[in-house]
């Protein structure tokens, strides 16, 4: 089998990689031995998604399949399996809101409601101006900084409904939004405020102690005497 690069394949109408991305495509393909080029399917899909406005269209799937000599259905299976790939158009700022237990307990539902109200969209929807899209996802891996939202490649942590809507406003107005913790803590350092009340402030009711009652003394056994019949 001859060495395969993207440039050796015939181009077709539809989606094609830019010259810059085509160099990256060849770089990824070169990492794998002959006959194993299909292993580059994930980085090629990622490149295609980024070039295609944030989603993987059928044209992207077919182009990746052509470059890797794979059936298009196999490429589609990979794209449909991983949530990092979007199979329908998304906004310029794609919001992924974590709804797993730690974030849910720390206010993820409030963030979701605020976002849907602010953008006038439902879950999975795209705003009218095409700038924002929203989807709820499973754990984003930053549980200690819950609640967490990922927008494109950036993480926003320790959010409230107010700080989250401010981020949306900043992005909508072309401003840079501050990534990381909204409360200013460094990475996953301890929170600046207590998340639970100290035990000294919690009133703990204890049942009154029962008075000990002495156990009754056992009576000493009576001494048994043997009656002897007087001799006649």
Pick the CATH number of 6-81 from 3.30.750.24, 1.10.10.1590, 1.10.1200.10, 3.30.420.40: 1.10.10.1590
What CA–CA distances, in Å, run from 133 to 50, 57, 77, 88, 227? 15, 17, 23, 11, 108
Q: State both tokens at 13.
A: 């109408």
| Domain residue ranges in the chain | 6-81, 93-181
In sequence order, what E strands does 163-211 have?
Answer: 180-181
Superfamily of structural domain 93-181: Glutaredoxin (3.40.30.10)
Q: Which residue has the tokens 């795209």?
A: 126
In this structure, what are the phi and psi dihedrals at residue 120, rounded to the nearest 5 degrees? 55, 50
The pTM of the full predicted model, rounded to 2 decimals, is: 0.71
Mean pLDDT for each consecutive 10-residue tract of the chain (232 residues)? 40 79 95 92 96 95 95 96 93 94 93 94 92 93 93 94 95 92 84 63 65 67 62 50
Looking at residue 3, its pLDDT comes to 38
Answer yes or no: are the C-beta atoms of 27 and 50 closer than 8 Å.
no
> What is the pairing mode between strands 180-181 and 154-157?
parallel
Between helix 161-172 and helix 108-119 the angle, nearest 10°, is 40
Looking at residue 218, its pLDDT comes to 67
Q: Which residue has the tokens 């002959």?
A: 34
């Amino acid at each position: 089998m001859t060495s395969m690069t993207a440039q050796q394949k015939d181009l077709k109408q539809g989606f094609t990689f830019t010259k810059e991305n085509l160099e990256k495509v060849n770089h990824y393909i070169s990492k794998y031995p002959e006959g194993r080029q299909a292993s580059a399917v994930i980085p090629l899909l990622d490149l295609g998604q980024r070039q295609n406005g944030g989603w993987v269209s059928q044209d992207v799937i077919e182009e990746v399949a052509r470059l890797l000599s794979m059936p298009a259905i196999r490429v589609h299976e990979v794209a449909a399996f991983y949530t990092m790939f979007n199979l329908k158009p998304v906004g310029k700022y794609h919001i992924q809101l974590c709804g797993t237990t730690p974030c849910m307990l720390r206010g993820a539902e409030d963030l979701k409601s605020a976002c849907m109200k602010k953008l006038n969209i439902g879950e999975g929807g795209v705003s009218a101006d095409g700038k924002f899209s929203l989807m709820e996802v499973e754990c984003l891996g930053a549980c200690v900084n819950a609640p967490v939202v990922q927008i494109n490649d950036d993480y926003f942590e320790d959010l409230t409904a107010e700080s989250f809507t401010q981020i949306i406003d900043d992005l909508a107005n072309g401003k840079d939004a501050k990534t990381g913790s909204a409360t200013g803590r460094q990475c996953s350092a301890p929170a600046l405020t207590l998340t639970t009340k100290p035990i000294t402030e919690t009133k703990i009711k204890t049942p009154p102690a029962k008075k000990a009652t002495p156990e009754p003394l056992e009576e000493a056994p009576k001494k048994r005497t043997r009656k002897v019949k007087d001799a006649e």
